[in-house]
Amino acid sequence: MTVTTLSEHACFDGVVRFLEHQSSELGVGAKLGVFLPQEALSGKVVPVIHVLAGLTANYETFLIKSNIIRFAAQHGIGVVAPDTSPRNTGIEGEDKDYDLGSGAGFYVDATAEPWSKHYRMESYVGKELPLLTESLFPFDATRRGIIGHSMGGMGALIQALRYPERWKTVSVFAPICAPSRIPWGKKAFDAYFGGDLQKWEEYDPTILLENGYKPPSTILLDQGLKDQYLADLKPDALVAAAQQTGQRLQVRTHEAYDHGYWFIQSFIHDHIEHHVKGLKG
Ligand SMILES: N[C@@H](CCC(=O)N[C@@H](CSC=O)C(=O)NCC(=O)O)C(=O)O
């Protein structure tokens, strides 16, 4: 397996490294970002948090814009940041829309043509990437957390609900909670799954909760009330599903905040504390 280092940057006494490798799940070259805290550079095995970004973002966005590294460094936690989709697959129209194709993989394994060969982000972020990064760095496979924003929040919820054995802790910022009911989700699911409505249900966090899927630990969800996409995110549907099934979901709303990374920067420290309790406690 060849992994190429694209660049490396000292940061908070650790290192941010951007890498590229040939992904077996995606069938194309894939880029990612990694933060290695000082402890990991000295060979100590550390907990790790994977971060899933939203539409139009890439493998750099969350690391650069969220301020996560300051707090991950304080607690000696590694960070892994994948891209938001495969790139350069050759699928016609892949780069045409901001909400479908490149930059918009929705963290699902597509089953419909022409997407199914390369658009396998669920397996990439949930299986291939943890194994790859844990083979390269001293990241503890038994102490993995996952954070997501918007489309990535949906991805983090799907991972935590469908595969609670993979993750110990989960938290989300302004996630897409009920994709099968909103325009972004309908467009993506129609393309990636076609008319297979069973798949739509399997990748809708609200329906997963309604159907009794359980997260590994309490989900922390932060939502700004000035979020320009609030009507499409539907946190109330997720809350209702969690109440109905008695699932562990802690929701915090914030009057003044919108959808962007200024909001994430303002609360990322609480998310890291949430993960520290579960991963190091
Ligand atoms: N640019 C689009 C809107 C895209 C957008 O707002 N993306 C958000 C996530 S939305 C759901 O997944 C984001 O965080 N983008 C990355 C960033 O760096 O801001 C449009 O043209 O309307």
Q: Which of 56, 61, 63, 149 has the most ligand 1 atoms within 8 A of CB, as the residue to mutate?
A: 56
Pairing mode, if any, of strands 46-52 and 78-82? Answer: parallel
* Euclidean distance between CA atoms 188 and 178, whole angstroms: 13
Ligand 1 pocket check for 61: Cβ under 6 Å? yes
Ligand 1 pocket check for 151: Cβ under 6 Å? yes
Model confidence pLDDT, tens digit, residues 13-62: 999 999 999 999 999 999 999 999 999 999 999 999 999 999 999 999 99
Q: Look up residue 185 and give its two tokens.
A: 């989700």
Decide if pLDDT at 280 tops 90: no
Backbone angles phi, psi at 22, to 5 degrees: -85, 115
* Euclidean distance between CA atoms 37 and 203, whole angstroms: 33
For the chain, give every domain's residue range. Answer: 3-280
172 exposure class (CB count in 10 Å sphere: 0-12, 13-18, 19+): buried
Model confidence pLDDT, tens digit, residues 190-208: 999 998 999 999 999 999 9
| CATH superfamily to which 3-280 belongs | Alpha/Beta hydrolase fold, catalytic domain (3.40.50.1820)
Model confidence pLDDT, tens digit, residues 211-232: 999 999 999 999 999 999 999 9
Dist. CA 52 → ligand 1 center (Å): 13
Decide if pLDDT at 247 tops 80: yes
| Statement: the pTM of the whole predicted model exceeds 0.95 | yes
Model confidence pLDDT, tens digit, residues 162-186: 999 999 999 999 999 999 999 999 9
Q: What is the mean pLDDT of residues 128-146?
A: 98
